Structure 1
Amino acid sequence: MKASASTAAAATSPTCSLSYIHPEADSPWLTYLAQVDRVLPHLGHLARWGETLKRPKRALIVDVPIEMDDGSVRHFEGYRVQHNLSRGPGKGGVRYHPNVTLEEVMALSAWMTIKNAAVGLPYGGAKGGIRVTPSELSHKELERLTRRYTSEIGIIIGPQQDIPAPDVNTNGQIMAWMMDTYSMNVGATATGVVTGKPIPLGGSLGRVKATGRGVFVTGREALRRLGHEIKGLRIAVQGFGNVGGTAAELFAATGAHIVAVQDHTGTIIEEKGLDIGALQAHVERHGGVAGFPGAQSARNEDFWEVRCDVLIPAALEGQLTAERARKTTAKVILEGANGPTLPAADDVFASRGILVVPDVICNAGGVTVSYFEWVQDFSSFFWDEDDINARLDKILGNAFARIWDTSEQLKISLRTAAFAVACERVLQAREERGLYP
């Protein structure tokens, strides 16, 4: 829908500034704000609510003191941000990383708002994190950290309020501790307070590989519309955890050649295609791809110039700069990570005719199966993995089709189209709910 003069003016107004953060020029929060500004002209009368998208509803900063194994006491800083709850309870992961900041968590929570709405899930967006290097903590210290953090944010989470999940450096064990701590504090077992739990505690089959499967499904749909066969394609993958590793496994099983992989330990290249099963076994034994005997090692920056047809950034945000966007030979970018592409890189990709399948649809497999888990916990009726994968395929396929059609109709990028679909849903809910009081 074409914007009126007044809404167009609103769309071009300066991005808002929040007094409690001071983001860097290439920060995730500013990347998100730039993405919102690009979509506002396509929202018609709903653009009057656009400022809603630029401000988190609630941001909680907590002190997390724990007793270390040596008897000392250390303090860690934790966050939980609820960006928007217009369409349902908050939903988003918790990451443990030494570089976690409030503005990063704000951006991640905002992308969850967009992601959930783009897929059509009945959630708002939320995210959490603790600034910590988890590898430096013992198992018991990690448990104490998790339980104290859960108690501190317990005032705003709950099965109908805000549902955390795993993210960077967190897993099913972390979720089990969070669920148990919350349950003890409310006096009743509350399996639905988190997703990504172990199967015996109400977890869902298919959840661990769901995000990587979503990258494969949306990538398959994009390539089909471009007229490309997966068989024989050359693919480079950054990040080889649950997301990148699963996506690589599924593409390789369909006949693609995974020619380069990069993770926190280094970069490996094999022109004829890596043996993904052997690489996964190597990573399991050694903690990373470095030293894999079936490939050549390379400088990390060389990864961006590897000859490939498809590039899958599945690590952290901000990896694709304008310079790297100019270097890549890929024709399709599948964003397995959250916010891996800076706005300037988006412009380079557009000028080069490179298709970007944005994170808010490409990596939505994880939150979709988290939704399945949440539903199964409430009903106490659990589905088999084939059923879950079929449902995931259908939901992501339909969501991608809607975004692709919007992109074609409005002649905008897939990212802006995904934001257009999502923001229309969020702001329509905001308008219909009204303001109270």
Structure 2
Amino acid sequence: MKAFEATRHFFYQAADQLDISDELREALLMPNREIQVQVTIRRDDGHLANYIGFRVQHDHARGPMKGGLRYHQEVDLDESRALACLMTWKTAVVDLPYGGAKGGIGVNPAQLSKNEIERLTRAFVDQIHDIVGPDTDIPAPDMGTDYQVMSWFRNQWEKYHGFNPAVITGKPVEEYGARGREEATGRGVGTLTQKMVKRLGMSPDQSRVAIQGFGNVGSHAAKFLHEGQFPIVAVSDITGTYYNSDGLNIPKLLRHKLAHPKGLLEGFDDAEHLPVDALLKLDHVDVLIPAALGGVITEENVDAITAKVIVEAANGPTLPVADERLNERGVTVLPDILANAGGVTVSYFEWVQNRQHYRWSLDRVRQELDRTMNDAFESVWQMASQHDVSLRTAAYMIGISRVRRATELAGLA
């Protein structure tokens, strides 16, 4: 199933509950604009290389559009369309005054030098600078990009439009970035995992956690949950699954990742080394956190998952058929549009600070993030209880209702 088909499926489940007409459903689902551009750079060895870049702007009924830039070999128009749509509902669920967008370049950044990635970023900005801006569409980091890429993006955009750091978020703190932005998505995942476990009557120190993906989100979530006394028994990255039934030494694991030249877990010897796909199939796991790519929980592997709780730190990790089976088994799934909304929330805080020319303290960022995520969780939980639906459907219902209301008030429907 393609990514946008899965997003459409979940949208329609919520739309059925809200009794939305067919014509309005299509209006809410249809992207406002889709851009595909050629991005050509000269590689370090002198030859030309061509890549395809994308930017999908889904909806602006509630404010400027917001969404990440992804550098990954699987980036295409369908994925960008699905993720832009998810961003619309995500920003609405946590009640940020934004719409959704997404984009990126179909490239494996690991195969490029730092200078080549800079040239690629600047060439991409040359192609899309006129459709992004602080009042229209505000990009941010995503898979394969980081604060350095955001700095190059801003610098190139300002060559056309003049000084305005609010054009992009996830920037270095030294260049008008927000304190706490790098940890934000993982912190949000950790905060809501704690809240979910306690709401279900589970004890943190008895809730064994497995985290698929140990990049920015997975590693910060692991740090937060370890500090909250959760035993993290398994983590994985592209080099394999690292397992310890008594709980991994997370501080040691994080030091190893920082010391590795590519930020990987390769060579970590204080754990049992298993195949990459073993993490989803481990016994005696209470909380599973997929924090890597989308579409990893499928019809083929869902029955092997033993966790009672799944917290979707990645975008779109669970396909619809698998989601139905998890619901039938009574597994509680905290959906991506709520669970990983910490990143866009602190991106909003960064944008606000840039517009006000005023910097917040780290404590204030964390307090505002925790409050926003907790308020959204309570709203989704209450909606699910009132309508006897899953947390995913409840989250979509809240997001769609807010976008629908804004659309109607604007006279567009």
TM-score range, shorter chain: over 0.9
Equivalent residues in 2 for 1:12-411, closer than 5 Å? 26-44=1-19, 48-186=23-161, 188-286=162-260, 287-306=263-282, 307-411=284-388
CA distance in 1, matches of 2:266, 2:233: 15
Percent of pairs with identical residues: 44
> Deviations for 1:338-372, whole angstroms, at most 9, x for unmatched residues?
00000011111111100000000000000000000
> Deviations for 1:269-314, whole angstroms, at most 9, x for unmatched residues?
1101111111111122233223211101112232112121100000
CA distance in 1, matches of 2:51, 2:23: 39
- TM-score for the superposition, normalised by structure 2: 0.97
> How far did 1:45 drift?
5.2
Q: Specify the code of the residue in structure 2 equivalent to 1:214.
A: G
Q: Which of 241-250 and 357-366 deviates more?
A: 241-250
Would the aligned equivalents of 2:241 and 2:274 in 1 still touch at CA under 8 Å?
Answer: yes
Would the aligned equivalents of 1:66 and 1:74 in 2 still touch at CA under 8 Å?
Answer: yes
CA distance in 2, matches of 1:349, 1:290: 32
Q: Which of 120-129 and 68-77 deviates more?
A: 68-77
CA distance in 2, matches of 1:332, 1:212: 17
Equivalent residue of 2:156, what SS? helix
Q: Specify the code of the residue in structure 1 equivalent to 2:47.
A: S
Q: Which contiguous aligned blocks of 4+ residues in structure 1 show a shift greater than 3 angstroms?
A: 44-48
> Deviations for 1:85-115, whole angstroms, at most 9, x for unmatched residues?
1111110000001111100000010000010
Equivalent residues in 2 for 1:418-437, closer than 5 Å? 418-435=395-412
The aligned length equals 410
Q: Specify the code of the residue in structure 1 equivalent to 2:214.
A: F
Would the aligned equivalents of 1:46 and 1:428 in 2 still touch at CA under 8 Å?
Answer: no
- TM-score for the superposition, normalised by structure 1: 0.92
Would the aligned equivalents of 1:41 and 1:47 in 2 still touch at CA under 8 Å?
Answer: no
CA distance in 1, matches of 2:345, 2:167: 16
Aligned to 1:412: 389
Q: Which of 83-92 and 226-235 deviates more?
A: 226-235
Gaps of 5+ in 2: none
Equivalent residue of 1:39, what SS? helix
